[in-house]
Structures are given as C-alpha cells and as structure tokens.
Amino acid sequence: MDAKKEIEVLVRAKYPILYITSWEERRVEQAVRDVALGLNRQMHTWSVTQGMQPAVRRASGPVKASSLPGELEALAQIHESAEFTVFLLKDFHPYMKDTRVVRLLRDLAARLRGKAQTLILLSPQLTLPTELEKDVTVLEYPLPERDDIETQLTDVITAMVDTPSVDMSLTDELRESIVRSAQGLTADEIESALARSLVEERKLTVDKIIEEKKQIVRKTGMLEFYPSSSSMKDVGGHDLLKDWLEKRSKSFTDAARDFGIPYPKGILIIGVQGCGKSLVAKAVSSAYGLPMLKMDVGRIFGSLVGQSEQNMRRAISIAESLSPCILWIDELEKGFAGMNGGVSDSGTTARVFSTFLTWMQEKTKPVFLIATGNNVAQLPPELMRKGRFDEIFFVDLPDTKEREEIFSIHLKKRKRDPKKFKIGELASITDGFSGAEIEQLVVGALNAAFFQDREVTFKDIKFEADNQVPLSRMMSEDIAELREWARLRARPSATYGEG
C-alpha cells in the first residue's frame, strides 16, 4: 500500500498513536498535511525549537501559559484538545526515555482511542519503550519510488529548460540511468545531486548522483565505496564469465521485470590467487553502470554483545537503500573463518553468518552480490546451496592465449606497443603464471629499465620471468585439489586451451 494511503487509512480507523520513521521531514509532513486536509481535520506540528504550530486551543478554553517542559506541555495540550485534529511531533525520540513522557503517551493512547484525533511521532530512528509497544503503530516511510523520482526530474527539467547555458536534453537511456541511480536517496539528496550536476557540468549526469551516494557510505563506516576504475577491457581472458555478465547487463531495468526476469542475485568466484577475481568484480561495476560497495567483514564484528549482528543488519540496510548497486565481498572464506570449526567466539560468527545467508536467500532489492574466495575448504557448505548465488564460477590459471592478452593489456596500460615485445614467446615461457604475476613481470622490467635510464625491452621481461617462481609451482597440490573440486561444482570462467 502507498505510504500516504496507509497513513490515511490508519487515521480514519482512529488509531491513536502512529510512529513514522523517516529522514524526510518535509515529504512526510506534506503527506500528513494532505491526509488531514482530505479528511477535513486541523493539523498541528511540534518541534522543540518551534513549539506547537499553530497554537492549540484546548477544549476547556484558550491557550494558557505553562511551566512544564516543552515535550510535556505538548502532550498536555494534545490531551486537552478538541476532536478532528492531527498532531505531528518531530524528533520526539529523545524524550521517550523519560518515564513521565511514557506515562503521558499511554494515557493519551487510552483517551484518543476511538476518537477523531491522531498523534503522529516522526523521527529518523525508532525508539519505542516496551510499555508502548501495544499502543503505538510503527510505519516506515519509504524513500522516493521510481514514479516520485520521475516527477522530480521532470520538474527540474521544466524549471530549467529555458536556461540557455544549461543543456537539459536527455536521451531515454540517460533518463533511465538517472532515475535508477537516484533510487535509495531522499528527495532532498536527489535535488542536491541534480543541482550540483547542473552547476558543475551544465547538464544532468549520473556521476553526481553517485557522488551523493558516496556521502551516505562515508558517514556509516560499515561499507566502503569502491570506485569503478577498471573496465572489462582491462580483464584478460574469462570469456565465459564475461559473456554471462554481459547477458545480464539489462536485467536491472523495469523492462526486465515486465519480461518476467527477477533481479540477479549475484555470483561466487573462486579460484587460484592472482587470476583476476577481484579485477572482474571491479569491472562489473563499470560495465553495469552501478555503484560498488565493498564489505570488509572484519568491520562488522564488534566487541559488545549483539553489536556484530546489528552491524551486519545495518550494512545490509545501507546496501539495500543504495540499490541498485553491487556489493563486493573479497576473500569471503576469511571473513567467516571458524564456521567449519576452529576458535570459538560464543556463536557470534554463526549468528552473523546466518543473518547474511537469510538475506542472500530472501532479498528482493536489486543488490548484485559478488563474492570471491581462494580456499574452498573454508567456505561453509550452506553458501553453495542453490538460490544463494545465480552461479558459481571457477577461475583457473590463464592459458597461452589468455597470457598473451594479459601481457598486451599491461603493456598498453603503460603506454608500450605489445607488438615490440614478442608476446607469443613471452606467453610460452610463462606457463603457470597468474595474471597478477604477469603484471609484476612487466612492472619489474620497467623498473630495471628505468634504473638504467633506457627503454624496456623483451629481454627485460624474459629476465624477470626466468627469475620468478610462480605460486602455481609452490602450491601445485592445492591447485590440483581446487581444480578437482571445481570440475563438478562450478562453471569455468573461460574456455581454457593449452598452457
């Protein structure tokens, strides 16, 4: 049900006390004012700075001076007011710890029940004493929906369309991107982001909306906003994984919902260290045009009882409020170490993990989860169950063709022409090298050449390769075991050939 409609129904049904949680005072106040006007009721608002506006004429007579504290005086005025009134008290949650306030609210609930009077408490956070749980109805006022954002965007375009120095033309694709990116922001934040875009860029862009979302993440400390500095062109190989991701690039649109496609849940990428798992995760953000949030599970765990579980729920709530977005968890098995035995932490890890698993299974918001891991043995079996992820991919060491591609990418990135470096020969002599190790060969060769004040050559890279022992040789047994596990349980990320 629409939030405004729900408020109207509860007011008409004579619910005595409503508690609305929202950061958007202006939107909620306007909604309550519309409801009161539609029901022909007088509306009064109260805040600790402004007092009761307008002043309440009590049923027993005119307004009287009072020596009571502001919050108690407000409740006293409501207690003695006439019918057909709606009261909106802003930021009343700090006073809910006062036993006198709690008692007065309980008295009001009994007095207002069945009468054409409604008390509405508005606050960004829920603070509800146990004594009031049966007397208060809690509503969570949602952030602007797609239609609300469309209307707000149209209003901005209409207001600025005749401004000569600003380009207000929007393609259908850009309009869709702006509306989609603005979901998860308050109306005021959307207004600020659009205004900043017009001031800085002289046109409407998605980037400034993403900047506004970065602010939300910075203020919480639970998640990290990760810039999408990589693209799929920076990822060598992984053709099957790239193809899978590309085919789902349109699955976050409304057209996909109309077609019957649910929001993608996410993928688990496991494999050999240094073979591009994290790079793929970063590139997806850029390819999909969605903000990426990185969850460091270590930040979730707190020292107080119940704090870790609360932090996990908070992090999930932040990610959902910023949806559609990508949530990246790197080295997942280390974050939930101990789930398969080990040091006891009184069940904290198990409870946090349970909260995370339930969200993965039941989530309805468009949060695309990308989890990466190296050690399969440490991954809890519950994580592998169908429905948690859309797919599990295995990333193996690059074959000869992929190594050529990786060498080309890193040489081009450093402004060198790959044709001058015998890429085919380099790929042949680096059998067993991971993508990260190949990058370090190029970096090491550049350092050696720079120290000698000359240009880097094929021989420099070959020298680095001849003097480096890849991780695959030192951990050949572990890699063989990982490949055997993945053969029956995961999809390969690439069509691997020789090498």
pLDDT at residue 343 tops 60: no
Dump pLDDT digits (tens) for 229-255. 667 777 777 888 888 888 888 888 878
pLDDT at position 175 is: 87
Question: Is residue 453 included in any domain, yes or no?
Answer: yes
Distances, alpha carbon 403 to alpha carbons 47, 81, 269, 284, 462, in Å: 66, 79, 20, 21, 14
What's the pLDDT band for 28 if we cut at 50, 70, 90? very high
**Same domain flag for 388 and 257:** yes
In 3D, which of 495, 279, 281, 475 has the Cα closest to residue 400? Answer: 495
Residue 344 has pLDDT above 60, yes or no: no
Closest CA to 75 of 99, 97, 107: 107
Confidence of residue 119 (pLDDT cuts 50, 70, 90): very high
**In the predicted model, is pLDDT for residue 278 greater than 90?**
no
Q: What is the pLDDT of residue 351?
A: 83
**Integer CA distances (angstroms), 214 to 164, 288, 319, 390, 426, in order:** 31, 17, 12, 27, 41
Average pLDDT, stretch 5-16?
94
Beta-carbon neighbour count of residue 151 at 10 Å? 12
- Say whether both 316 and 370 belong to one domain: yes
Residues 9 and 136 in one domain: yes
Are residues 332 and 254 located together in one domain of the fold?
yes
Query: What's the Cα-to-Cα distance from 229 to each of 36, 51, 280, 289, 373, rounded to whole Å?
Result: 50, 50, 11, 12, 21
- The answer to whether the Cα torsion of 163, 165, 166, 167 is positive or negative is positive
Residue 451 confidence class, pLDDT cut points 50, 70, 90: very high
Beta bridge partners of 18: 120, 137
Which residues touch 473 (CB under 8 Å, ≥6 apart)? 432
Same domain, 379 and 423: no
- Give me the pLDDT at residue 304, please: 63
* Each residue's pLDDT tens digit, 457-467: 999 999 999 99
| Structure-block tokens of residue 161 | 């369309």
Query: CA geometry: angle at 428 spanning 423 and 433, to 5°?
Result: 95
Q: What is the pLDDT of residue 499?
A: 54
The pLDDT assigned to 492 comes to 85
In a domain, 336, yes or no: yes
467 CB contacts (<8 Å, ≥6 apart)? none
pLDDT of residue 27: 92
Query: Nearest to residue 108, comparing CAs of 128, 132, 139, 84?
Result: 132
Q: Are 393 and 486 in contact (CB under 8 A)?
A: no
381/462 same-domain check: no
Q: How many independent structural domains does the chain possess?
A: 4
Question: CA separation (Å) from 316 to 120, 159, 295, 319, 367?
Answer: 28, 37, 10, 5, 9
Do the domain assignments include residue 308? Answer: yes
Task: Give tens-digit pLDDT for 309-329.
Answer: 888 888 888 888 778 888 998
Q: Please check whether residues 260 and 383 belong to one and the same domain.
A: yes
| Parallel, antiparallel or unpaired: strands 367-373 and 136-140 | unpaired
Is 443 in the same domain as 296?
no
DSSP 390: S
| pLDDT value of residue 447 | 94
Q: Model confidence at 339, in pLDDT bands (50, 70, 90)? A: low
Identify whether 319 is part of a domain: yes
Q: What is the pLDDT of residue 57?
A: 62
Query: With 70 as the cut, is the pLDDT of residue 64 above it?
Result: no
- Tell me if 162 is assigned to some domain: yes
pLDDT average, residue stretch 186-210: 88
Calculate what percentage of the chain has a pLDDT beyond 70: 93
Domain span at 15: 3-140
Q: Closest by alpha carbon to 16, among 137, 132, 125, 163?
A: 137
Average pLDDT over residues 176-199: 87
CATH of the domain at 260: 3.40.50.300
Q: Give pLDDT, residue 340.
A: 54
Does the pLDDT value for residue 89 go beyond 90? yes
| Residue 100 lies inside a defined structural domain of this protein | yes
Residue 87: the pLDDT is 95
In a domain, 224, yes or no: no
- Is 8 within the bounds of a domain? yes
Check residues 203 and 303 and name the one with the higher pLDDT: 203
Q: What is the mean pLDDT of the chain?
A: 85
The reply to whether 130 and 162 lie within a common domain is no
Average pLDDT over residues 282-302: 80
Query: Can you give the pLDDT at residue 32?
Result: 95
- Cα 333 to the center of its chain, rounded Å: 21
Query: How many residues in total does the chain contain?
Result: 499
Residue 123 has pLDDT above 90, yes or no: yes
222 within 8 A of 230, measured Cβ to Cβ: no
From the CA atom positions of the chain, what is the Rg in Å? 29
Domain boundary among 166, 184, 219: 219
Same domain? 351 vs 390: yes
Using the Cα atoms of residue 183, residue 186, residue 187 and residue 189 in order, give the sign of their dihedral: negative
Give yes or no: residues 21 and 87 share one domain: yes
Residues 22 and 94 in one domain: yes
